[in-house]
Amino acid sequence: MPSKTRSVFRNAALLSGLVAQAQLDAAESALREEAVGSDTAGEISDENLANKLVDTHVITRYQADQMLTGRNKLNLGPYLVTDFIGQGGMGQVFKAVHNVMGRECAVKILPVHKSTPEAISNFTREIRTQAKLDHPNLVRAYDAGQDGSVHYLVTEYVPGTDLRRLIRSDGPLTMQQAASVIMQAARGLHHAHESHLIHRDVKPGNILVTPEGIAKVSDLGLAGFINEGDADPRAGKIVGTADYLSPEQIRNPHEVSNVSDVYSLGCTLYYAITGKVPFPGGTPNSKAQRHLAETPWHPKRFNPDISEEFVEVIADMMEKDPASRIPTAAEVAARLEPWATEVGVSPAPLTKSPWTPPPLPTGSEDSAQETDGARIDSEEFDSSRAESVSQWSQGTESGSAASQDTRQLPTRRRSGPLPPPLPLVQLPRRQRQNQTILLAVVASLAALAGVVSGFILRGLF
């Protein structure tokens, strides 16, 4: 009979509803057959049993890890959680499957400890924002709900990685690759703009790229309604990421408009083609000042293969004056389409680029321009601090909620810290009593089985 410690997994597996007793028995039988003649014959640990159930695709690695700690709550409403994706600005994000439709999705959770009226209001705003949008280059919102005290948003699950991780892993993109990704993102943003929505936080980490090269803009939770004005609780605050903020967002958040997203998308294109943010290093406030007053290094300094025509598009997207900027995301997509489709670009009359030709690189200057995206992508602004020296840590790395990175699930238990469990859900008293009764029944049946097997063994010998 398994010891009390080794029965933790079995009890959690049965209580979760994901594993039947017959499946546990089959896994144990298979392990005993595999162990015949070995020193471990007859001993089946929870760890080995969990691994066998993962190997046979009864449960996922994430589910097994949670059950090994005794956790059995692995669903949110009708959504069965299969893996942890990451931590986003609003909360944790899990991969899940609808228990009837079988559709994979991403479930974003508002943390219980942040469930203040204002947080719930903002979360509801995000749900309503995403529900308005349906475009192939935007992450779609499917559903929203509440499980006990937990509020959650269900969105399309996008396999692949985000643009920031892609660049940090593989280096800068070619003109064709960068044009394709940003063109698609621009089309998605144009659809949002037509619905009177501004993203406000366009950046590489919020552009997902599938293995097939499809780009989707994610994390519209910070989007603001163009026409809501002071009704938006974020009105008057600088919402966004320091490396990609438009000058007007910094000067006066009330002036944010569609072209603010165009500027941020231009900064994102700069990063995609060079591997550098426009103004690396320094504090968030110093970056803000540079967005207002300085010109970035010429992109050819970091990627000599870029054409001047391509540089001109980036420059037009990053004009300091909103009136001089490319006016719509649709026009951005149209300007980039020749490169994205690998059609030869007809040289258009060029205005003078705001970037001077790049000087010959020197080791010291290039070193000073290196940037660690993990140190800066998580910085957020508050207009009340815009003129003060920043006291924020730059060592915080944003999670992968927006990235939704996928990976091959290992069949062995993960090394290092376990992914977080689902937040605790306060169950009704009757449901808690029912779970207690079920656990007692399982324990009693296990004990009875041990007694019966003892009688049988004594009769045999």
Q: Return the number of other C-beta atoms located less than 10 Å from residue 194's C-beta.
A: 14
Tokens of 15: 């209580």
Residues paired with 97 in a beta bridge? 80, 104
| Pairing relationship of beta strands 197-198 and 224-225 according to DSSP bridges | antiparallel
CA dist 86 and 341 (Å) reads 33
Residues paired with 156 in a beta bridge? 105
CA dist 376 and 368 (Å) reads 15
Q: How many helices (H) and strands (E) does the chain have?
A: 15, 11
Q: Return the number of other C-beta atoms located less than 10 Å from residue 344's C-beta.
A: 7
Whether residue 125 contacts residue 151, with contact meaning beta carbons closer than 8 Å, is answered with no
What is the identity of the amino acid at 413? Answer: R
Tokens of 353: 């680029």
Q: Which residues are catalytic?
A: 201
CA dist 321 and 436 (Å) reads 65
CA dist 197 and 223 (Å) reads 6
Tokens of 369: 């321009």
Quick one: residue 174, left, alpha or beta (phi over 0 = left, psi -120 to 50 = alpha)?
A: beta
Contacts of 9 by beta carbon, 8 Å cutoff, 6+ apart: 46, 47, 49, 50, 64, 67, 68, 70
Whether residue 236 contacts residue 150, with contact meaning beta carbons closer than 8 Å, is answered with no
Tokens of 129: 């924002």
Tokens of 62: 């994430």
